[in-house]
Chain A
Amino acid sequence: MTAITETTSQTPGATVWRDFAASGVALGSLAVFALLVAAALLAPWIAPQNPFDLTQLDVLDGRLPPGSPGGAVRVYWLGTDDQGRDMLSAMLYGLRLSLLVGVGSALVAGSVGTLVGLTAAQAGGRIDSGLMRVADLQLSFPSILIALMVIAFLGRGIANVLLALILVEWAYYARAARSAALVELKSEYVEAARCLVLPPHRILLRHVLPNCLPSLVVIATTQVARAIALEATLSFLGLGVSVTEPSLGLLIANGRSYVLSGETWISLYPGVALLILMAAINLAGDQLRDALNPRLGP
C-alpha cells in the first residue's frame, strides 16, 4: 500500500529518473557523457596547448609518439599529429566542436521541427500535407547527400556544417511532433481547453507541447549522436570544419594516412574518443526511451 502511495506522490520527473537509474549501464554512460562534456567545456583551461593557435604549433614537433617530451608542452602524453599538435589538446578541442555541432544542431533543428510539426497538426488540410510532403521529400534523401550538397554550395566551416545538420535533422522532429500532437489534439483536456476558447497557439504550446516532449526528447538523444557522426563523416571527407581547427572526425582523417607506417596514435585516440562519446549518448538515450515509455513502466 505504501509503495503505491509513494509512486503516485512522485513527480513525473522523479519517476523517469528512477526508471532511468534502474540500469547501471545507463547511469555509467550518463556519467561518461557528463565527464566528456565537462572536459570539453574546460578545454581552454585543462589542455596543455591551444591546438587552434598556429603560433603554438611547430611542425618540427610533428608525429612524435605518445609520451615524448616536448618544448612548450612538457610531455605529449598522446603524441602529436603531423603539424605538431598535441593530440590530447587537439582531442579536447575537437570534442568541443563535436559537442557544439551535435547539441547545437539538435536544439535548433528540434525547435524548428517541433514548431513545423505542431503547426501542421493544428492546421490540417493543405498546410499539413504541404509541410509533411516537404519533410517526406527531405527524408527520402540520404542525410549525407543533403549535407554534402549544402557544404558544396556554401563552403566548409563550422557555421555551414551546423546549417547543413539542421537542414538534415528538422524533418525527423517535424514528423514526430506532428504525430504526437495529432493524438493529443483528440484528447479530452484539449477539448476542455477549446471550450474555454483559449487561443490555438496557447493550446498548442501550453497544453499539447508538454505532452509531446517525451518522444521528442528521445529523438533528440539519437539525433545528437547522429549529428556528431555526420559532422565527423563530413570532416573525414575533407568537407567539414577548417583544417587548422580540426574536430574529432578531421583528426581521424589526418591520421589515416599514417596508419600503415606505424604512427597509429594520430588516428587511434580521436577514434576511441569518438567511439566512447557515441556509445555513451546512445546507451543513455536508449534507457531514457524505455524510462519515458508508459507501456514499459510499472
Chain B
Amino acid sequence: MASRPLAIGAISAPNSLDPHFYQSPTNNQTLRQIFDPLLTEDAEGRLRPLLAQSWRALDELTWEFTLRPGVRFHDGTPLTPDDVAFTIERVPNVLNSPGSFAPYVRNIAAVDVIDATRFRIRSKTPNPYLDRDFTNLYILSRKIHADAATADFTSGKLAVGTGAFRYAGFTVGQQIELDRNPDFWGTPTGWSRIRTRFIPDAGARVAGLLAGDLDLIDGVPVQDVAHLAADPKVAIFSVASATSVYLFPDASRDQSPFVTDRTGQPLDRNPLKDPRVRKALSLAIDRKGIVEKLLLGQGIPTDQFAPPPAPDRLPGRPAPVADPVRAKQLLAEAGYPDGFGLTIHGPSGFFTSDVAVLQAVAQGFSRIGVDTKVETLPIATFFSRATNRDFALFMTTYATTNSAELLRQVVLTKNPDTGACRAVQPPALFQPEG
C-alpha cells in the first residue's frame, strides 16, 4: 500500500513561517516541526535539553550553554554558537510583528562565544527565568538567514531549520506540508510526509476525522468527546493544559466604562475597585457547573492561578464553591445591596465554548443582583480593545507552566501613567484540558 501523508486538521492557522514574527501558541507549535529552540518543556513543565545539551547559571548575570554537537540545518549548514547570537540580534528587528519575541531578549547584554559548542549569555539584570525564555525562541543560522525577511520564510525559500521536518509547501490559512528530515539530529519520526489543514470550524474537523479524510485533529469540541470516545476507530488524548481562563476586572481606575447603577446611570465610584465586590463576583460563579455542563468535564475548576502542569503549584487547595448568599452579603457590605449594572466582554472563537462560558458567568452575576450584559467580539478587535482598557471586566486566557510568568504578565500590571506595578486579583475560572 502506498503510504499517504499523515493528515492533520488543526483549529487555527499560523500567519507566517517566520519563527520570530508572531509569539503565539499557533505559530510556535506549527514552526516547532521545522525549527528547534535551545530548550523545551515537558508535559510537567520541567525544562529539557534540545539544541542545548546542557546549561547552567555561572552567576547572577551569566549563563553558560553547551550546544548539542553535530546539529545541521536542512541545507547542511552546521549549527554554531554564533547562530544563537544572530537569533538574539534578529528578534527585535523583525518588522510589523503583531506579538514580538523581543521581551525574551531585551535583557540580554551580550553573547560570548567560547568554542565550537559553548557560549555564555550575559544579562543586564538578574533573570532567574532566562533559561525558560529560550524555550520559545527558535534558532536561525547567520549564514542562511542573515538578510531573511519574513516573506522569505512564508514563501518557503528560507524556511530552513534544524527540526525533524522540512518545508514542502504552505498556503496561508489553508495548509502546510512537511517532509521528514532524514538528517535530523534526534530520533527520526515515523511519518515521511505530513499534511496539516487548517479548519477553524469544529464540526468540519470532527466530520473529516469520522470520514477518514483526517487522521488527527486538535480542538476536539467538548460535546463530541463522548461519541468519539465510543467509536472504536477513534482514540482521544487529553492532558491538563497550561491554560487558565480568567476574568480581568478594571480594579484600578476610579471610573470604569460599562459599570452603571441598575438603571444605567453612571456611578460616582468604580465598584470593581472594592475587593469585596470582586470577591462577591468570584463567589457568584458556579465553576463546577460550568465545567460539568458547558465543558462536559473537559476542564478543571481553578483553585489557583498556577495550572496543573506548573511545577511550583500549591497542592491540595480546594476550588472555590459558588455561594450566592455570601456574595450578596459582600455586595451589601460594599454598599451595593441592590447590585449594579455591568457589561462584561469576551472573545468569540478563541477557546472551546468561550461564548457559552461568558454567558454562564453573566448568569451567576445576575443572580446576586449584578444586572449583567454580555458582549463578545472577534479576536482581532477584542484584544486590541482589552489592551486599550476599553472594558470593565473581560475574560481571557493565559498559558504558561511558569507561575512566575503569570505573576509577571497578568497579576502585576504596570500603570502606564505612573510606571508603578500594582497587583490585581483576577478571579480565575477553570483550566481547560487541551
Binding site for B on A (CB under 8 A): 53-55, 57-60, 62-63, 82-84, 155-156, 238, 242-244, 254, 256-263
Contacts and interface: CB of A to CB of B under 8 A. Distances in A.
B203 A243 contact: no
A59 B375 contact: no
13 contacts: A54-B362, A54-B363, A59-B289, A59-B290, A59-B360, A59-B363, A82-B294, A156-B375, A238-B348, A238-B355, A257-B203, A258-B223, A260-B223
B202 interface: yes
For this complex, into which size category does the number of interface residues on chain B fall? 20 to 34
A244 B223 contact: no
Nearest to A61: B293
Contacts, number: 78
Contacts of A257: 202-203, 221, 223
Interface stretch (B186-194, B307-315, B366-374): B366-374
Contact of A261 (B227, B290, B353, B362): B227
A262 B333 CA distance: 46
A242 B207 contact: no
Contacts of A244: 359, 362, 373-374
A260 B203 contact: yes
Contacts of A62: 293-294
A256 B202 CA distance: 10
A47 B138 CA distance: 58
Given A243-B376, A254-B356, A260-B207, 16 more contacts: A54-B365, A54-B366, A54-B367, A58-B363, A59-B360, A83-B356, A83-B360, A83-B363, A238-B355, A242-B375, A243-B359, A243-B375, A256-B203, A257-B221, A260-B223, A260-B224
B69 interface: no
B52 interface: no
A59 B203 contact: no
A106 B374 CA distance: 28
Nearest to A156: B375
B226 interface: yes
B376 A238 contact: yes
B286 interface: yes
B130 interface: no
A260 to B, nearest CB: 5
A143 to B, nearest CB: 21
B8 interface: no
A274 B356 CA distance: 23
A120 to B, nearest CB: 38
B140 interface: no
A21 to B, nearest CB: 45
A60 B293 contact: yes
A145 B287 CA distance: 39
A269 B375 CA distance: 25
Contacts of B359: 54, 83, 243-244
Highest count of chain B CB atoms <10 Å: which of A63, A83, A256, A262: A83
Contact of A262 (B227, B294, B349, B373): B227
> Ordered nearest first, which 8 A-B pairs have the shortest CB separation?
A54-B366, A261-B223, A59-B360, A55-B366, A62-B293, A244-B374, A54-B363, A261-B224
Interface in B301-357: 348-349, 353, 355-356
